[in-house]
A and B are shown apart, each in its own frame.
Chain A
Amino acid sequence: MSTRKILVIDDEQAYTRMITFALEDTGEFKVRTVNDPTQAAETARLFDPDCCVLDIIMPEMSGLEVAELFKRDPVLKNKPIVFLTAAVSKEHPHIQHDLLEDCPVLIKPVGSDELIACIDSVTTGANRKAS
């Protein structure tokens, strides 16, 4: 499989740096990061990612708002999204949104293997729903 391009949108700079190393060290991914969610759409259009890893609670613009913006954008609407958030738990999800039903949701903290497996599932189309 050729190198896949991953756009990581999260306001935690240290975290996006960690994800970048985790993914690029495999040799299978090229990563671009965005710490200001208002810049996400513009960066996505330029970078043309195979998958977007998207935090939910961020200043200025939530991840759900970013995802809605993507879905309305003719260029970005089919980009696979993986939500990676500290805002909900598997036991007690309290954020309700259709996008969270349609896209995989990973709960922080998550290991690099789990993140890569989820990205694999959405970029190969084998499984659009994370466990």
Chain B
Amino acid sequence: MAQPSIMDHLAGEGHLSAGAPATLARLAGGVAHEVRNPLAIIRMGLDNLARSLPDHPDRARLFLDDLYEAVERTERIVDALLKFGAPRPLNYERVAAADLIREAVTTVQSLSLEEGIQVSLDIDSDVPPLRLDRAMVLEVLQQILSNAFHAMPGGGTVTITATTRPGSPGFDGAVIIEVCDTGEGIPPASLPKLFDPFFTTRQGQLGLGLPIAQVVMELHGGRIEIEPNEGGGTVARLAFRV
């Protein structure tokens, strides 16, 4: 029997907000466009190569370089999409927020050391354990931390907090994890596009990190928000139901 995919999870059991299918639709459209473009280069390049090889070895080298680059791009796109859409079960477990945060920080620590970035943790003692897929949410945290570190090329401070928001009638309680950086901030024009598949401001990036993070959070019945931080920088906020 086939394992349920993220798509199946999204469709079932009322896990998600109404926005998730639209996100996936945008993702699918982005896939077609982003994969076909490098394939188009390869196809036209091969035509050129076939004509040029016998008489123009120098030109053939130029074509080949472009083709290698296009092939690598295609491979990275496909790898990311397989990671996102391949059938995989959710492995729920109880995880202490503090452990998860410390593990995420440890795995991306090399970036902060290189850039001279200080990392500060402030985790409330009353934050309850979270029921989640540890590996998937760990990747979300790593993505957010990586974004924060890259936003501070000249150094700065990343402050990670975990707090509990008590429930009230009609509103579940939540655990809020915030990652605040003192970096260059996000241009206002980019804010509405942050969760669009393939939107990126960094050279060589696919622009799938935040869209995948959004789907993972929705899969857990939570949400992700990113907004300018008062006083500069950016704050990324993860909200988990408890």
Give Cα A112–Cα B46 distance, bound, in whole angstroms.
10
Instruction: From A18-26, A27-35, A37-45, A63-71, give the one contacting chain B.
Output: A18-26
Tell me if A112 and B37 are in contact (CB < 8 A).
no
Asked if A111 contacts B37 (CB within 8 A), the reply is: no
Complex Cα gap A107–B63 (Å): 22
Interface residue ranges of B2-48 to A (CB < 8 Å): 29, 32-37, 39-45, 47-48
Query: CB-CB < 8 A to A86: which residues of B?
Result: 32-37, 40
Task: Indicate the size class of the contact surface on chain A.
Answer: 20 to 34
| B44:A112 contact, CB within 8 angstroms | yes
Number of A-B contacts (CB under 8 A): 67
Q: Is A110 an interface residue (CB 8 A)?
A: yes
Tell me if A87 is interfacial: C-beta within 8 Å of chain B.
Answer: yes
Contact A109–B44 (Cβ < 8 Å)? yes
A19-B44, A109-B42, A111-B43 given as contacts; is B37 within 8 A of A12 (CB)?
yes
Most buried by A among B42, B44, B66, B69: B44
> Are B43 and A109 in touch, CB under 8 angstroms?
yes
Q: Within A93-131, which residues are at the interface with B (CB < 8 Å)?
A: 94, 107-113, 115
| Any A CB within 8 A of the CB of B76 | no
Residues of A contacting B51 in the complex (Cβ-Cβ under 8 angstroms): 25
Contact yes or no, B32 A18, CB < 8 A: no
> CB < 8 Å: which of B29, B40, B59 contacts A108?
B40
Give Cα distance in the complex from A113 to B37, angstroms: 18
Q: By the criterion of a CB under 8 Å from any partner CB, how many residues of chain B are at the interface?
A: 23
Contacts of A22 in B (CB 8 A): 44, 47-48
Residues of A within 8 A of B40 (CB): 12, 15, 86, 108-110
Determine which of A21, A87, A107, A110 lies in contact with B48 in the assembled complex, contact meaning CB atoms within 8 Å.
Answer: A21
Known: A18-B63, A21-B48, A22-B48. A12 touches B33 (CB 8 A): no
Q: A13 → chain B, closest Cβ, in Å? A: 9
Contact B33 A112 (CB under 8 A): no
Query: Once the chains bind, are A108 and B48 in contact (CB under 8 Å)?
Result: no
Residues of A within 8 A of B33 (CB): 57, 86-87
CB-based contact B44/A111 at 8 Å:
yes
CA distance A12 to B51 in the complex (A): 22
CB<8 Å pairs between A and B, sample of 12: A15-B37, A15-B41, A21-B48, A25-B52, A86-B36, A86-B40, A94-B29, A108-B37, A108-B39, A109-B43, A110-B44, A111-B47
Which A residues are closer than 8 A to B by beta carbons? Answer: 12, 14-15, 17-19, 21-22, 25, 57, 86-87, 89, 94, 107-113, 115
Q: What residues of chain B have their CB less than 8 Å away from a CB belonging to chain A?
A: 29, 32-37, 39-45, 47-48, 51-52, 59, 63, 66, 69-70
